[in-house]
Amino acid sequence: MVHSPFKGVIPALVTPFRDGEVDEKAFVALVERQISGGVHGLVPVGTTGETSTLSHEEHKRVVELCVKTAAGRVPVIAGAGSNSTDEAIELAQHAKAVGADAALVVTPYYNRPSQEGMYQHYKAINDAVQLPVFVYNVPGRSGVDISNETLARLSKLPNIIGIKDATGDLTRISFQRLMCGEDWVLLSGDDPTALGYMAHGGHGVISVTANVAPDATAAFMNACMAGQWETGLYWQDRLVRLHKALFLDSSPAPTKFALAHLGLCAEDVRLPITACAEAVRPTILEAMREAGLE
């Protein structure tokens, strides 16, 4: 695990829009800001990137832009999930073709496959694309929960290398470490519990909050990776209200509101997501101030 490049804080990037189109200039600037802030990797076109409302052409273009802009400075884990296995394979193949370092593949949503169905889904991707793949477990959105037993089976496949766990259940990680082996990469997908996740043996977090506060989240994760838990707790206390505030309305609307307040992109989201509710905006701004952002 010491040799894995996939660790630390890895922002789940928003996809900025303007006048109904992807704002490529703003996206490139956001990527540069993240890298300058000290993040350890990038995830384009995940849930936070509104991938479900991007066309395939837009999805692929955003991955290409991210890889080109990062230019090898940090690894890129491209979102490549679908509830169609063939479509997930196509997106993973594209990610590899344009130079992404790995793919993030969500458990198949809506059609609610069995544990065997999920295993076969990831095995098909493993067999079709020579690219490291992270399983993304987010039962609150997908409607299915992949078990540790299924993950243990998947960990034996050469290209399935780790997980983004957005369950917030810290008891799972110890069992995954024991069941999946020391090379299994453990990434939290839940900012508020990332401190505990790291203390339980995690390697990093795929973070929404990093969009808004890359410097602070990088400092937090650097402390955790160094075992400096008192410093990690300091940053946790500064960031925890922002972690929560960015989910006071449907994500990523609050994150885009925060970024717009900082002058970094427009607030625009795509239906069925709507602009951040006026009622929660003061709470978001106060949380930003607590995190050291103006």
48 is known to lie in a ligand binding site: yes
206 is known to lie in a ligand binding site: yes
Catalytic residue among 96, 164, 197, 256: 164
Among this protein's residues, is 136 annotated catalytic? yes
- Alpha helices in the chain, H assignment, sequence order: 24-36, 56-70, 85-97, 115-128, 139-142, 148-154, 171-180, 194-199, 214-225, 229-245, 253-261, 281-290
Q: How far apart are CA 76 and CA 66, in angstroms?
A: 7
Among this protein's residues, is 122 annotated catalytic? no
Structure tokens at 96: 């590899």
CA distances from 246 to 31, 207, 236, 253 (A): 19, 11, 15, 8
Residue 106 pairs with which residues in a beta bridge? 136
Catalytic residue among 119, 136, 197, 256: 136
Q: Return the active site residues.
A: 136, 164
Which residues make up each annotated binding site? 48, 206
Which residues make up each annotated binding site for pyruvate? 48, 206
